[in-house]
Amino acid sequence: MASKRTSIREESDSNNYALSDSSDFEDNGHPKLSKRRSSLFSLSSLSSAEPLPPPDEKDFIAFTSDDRHFSLLRNLHMADFITLMNGFSGFYSIVSCLRFTLTKQTHYVQRAHFFIILGLFFDFFDGKVARLRNKASLIGQELDSLADLISFGVAPASIAFSLGLQTTLDVLCLTFLVLCGLTRLARFNVTVANIPKDIKGKAHYFEGLPIPSTLWLVFSMAFCVYKGWYEYEDGLPGPLLWKGKFFEFHLISLFFVVQGCLMTSKSLKIPKP
């Protein structure tokens, strides 16, 4: 009889775990521990396998109670270090843009494009490593979002500025893109648990374009560099409206506004492959 009660209790616990997406907190009062990724590729990597198990309770205790030296570094997982390489790639792309602005040497802006692509590789690879090790990170979701903002938000805007989108309204358009990316990632972190999923934990759709979709802007700017269509050569493609006035701007800067709107749209639901 005791064995039967134990089996029933274990089955009940299993059912409670399966329904844990509807609750934000566990019975012990700690926040629910889960593994969610904010990027296009990290989410799609979950399509062929069961969801990763949530982080252990000891991981939560380690991050909140560990007072030893370098405790943060010791508590990071291998996938977290790969995510940090994504952030590094985005930052180095920004530095390359600054060097291009100072020297006008095109290999620096080409390097900036390369490091964004490298960041995309790390963004894809961190989810693969987490799945291979079958180990979820407590801060993986937030770390991934911040790295994506650098690599696919700030870095593309920096390239556009270095190529010549430098008027006041141009900069406001680039700022709009970055802020939309920031808002989109924050919304994802809050609402992903409520997006309908299949039995494998894969979301049915994206709410708005994922932030790595800014890569089409990156490739477009790389083509402009190849053709010499930037400020220090043949000039940017498209007209400069209201030239000489305070509100002058390049027409192509509106592409960044459109991209920002598509990322933050809640009505735009893109089915996942």
Residues 242-261: tens digit of each pLDDT:
999 999 999 999 999 999 99
Q: State whether residue 269 is helix, strand or coil.
A: strand
Q: State whether residue 195 is helix, strand or coil.
A: coil
Lowest mean pLDDT segment, chosen from 18-27, 157-166, 193-202, 204-213:
18-27
Residues 62-118: tens digit of each pLDDT:
667 767 677 777 788 899 999 999 999 999 999 999 999 999 999 999 999 999 999
Residue 206 is predicted with a pLDDT of 85
User: Domain ranges in the chain?
Assistant: 71-194+207-264
Residue 135 is predicted with a pLDDT of 73
Q: What is the rounded distance in angstroms from the CA atom of residue 248 to the CA atom of residue 141?
A: 40
Lowest mean pLDDT segment, chosen from 129-133, 236-240, 265-269:
129-133
- Output 241 or 270, whichever has higher pLDDT: 241
Residue 140 is predicted with a pLDDT of 86
Residues 134-171: tens digit of each pLDDT:
777 788 889 999 999 999 999 999 999 999 999 999 99
The CA R_g of the chain, rounded to the nearest whole Å, is 22
Residue 128 is predicted with a pLDDT of 85
- Output 42 or 199, whichever has higher pLDDT: 199
- Residue 214 is classified by DSSP as G
Record the tokens describing residue 23, joined without a space: 């609750």
Check if the beta carbon of residue 272 is closer than 8 Å to that of residue 43. yes
- Candidates 211, 156, 158; CA nearest to 185 is 211
Record the tokens describing residue 58, joined without a space: 């000891």
Residues 7-57: tens digit of each pLDDT:
444 444 444 444 344 444 455 454 444 444 555 554 444 444 456 666 667
Q: What is the rounded distance in angstroms from the CA atom of residue 66 to the CA atom of residue 75?
A: 9
Residue 200 is predicted with a pLDDT of 63
Record the tokens describing residue 237, joined without a space: 């493609």
- Residue 132 is classified by DSSP as H
- Residue 67 is classified by DSSP as -
Half-sphere exposure of 263 (CA within 13 A, CB side): 31
Residue 195 is predicted with a pLDDT of 80
Give φ, ψ of 225 to 5 degrees: -65, -40
Question: Which of 3.40.1390.40, 1.20.120.1760, 1.10.357.10, 1.20.140.10 is the CATH number of 71-194+207-264?
Answer: 1.20.120.1760
pLDDT at residue 215 is higher than 50 = yes
- Output 265 or 60, whichever has higher pLDDT: 265
Residues pairing with 25 in the sheet: 31
Residue 22 is predicted with a pLDDT of 42
Average pLDDT over residues 203-217: 91
Residue 75 is predicted with a pLDDT of 80
Residues pairing with 270 in the sheet: 206
| Type and span of the H or E element at 241 | strand 240-241
Residue 36 is predicted with a pLDDT of 46
Residue 210 is predicted with a pLDDT of 93
- Candidates 165, 163, 153, 176; CA nearest to 258 is 176
Report CA 231 to chain centroid distance, whole Å.
29
Q: What is the rounded distance in angstroms from the CA atom of residue 215 to the CA atom of residue 251?
A: 19
Check if the beta carbon of residue 254 is closer than 8 Å to that of residue 173. yes
Residue 201 is predicted with a pLDDT of 64
Quick one: what percent of the chain has pLDDT higher than 70?
74
CA dihedral sign, ordered 255, 260, 261, 262: positive
Residue 17 is predicted with a pLDDT of 40
Residue 62 is predicted with a pLDDT of 66
Q: What is the rounded distance in angstroms from the CA atom of residue 118 to the CA atom of residue 40?
A: 15
Residues pairing with 269 in the sheet: 207
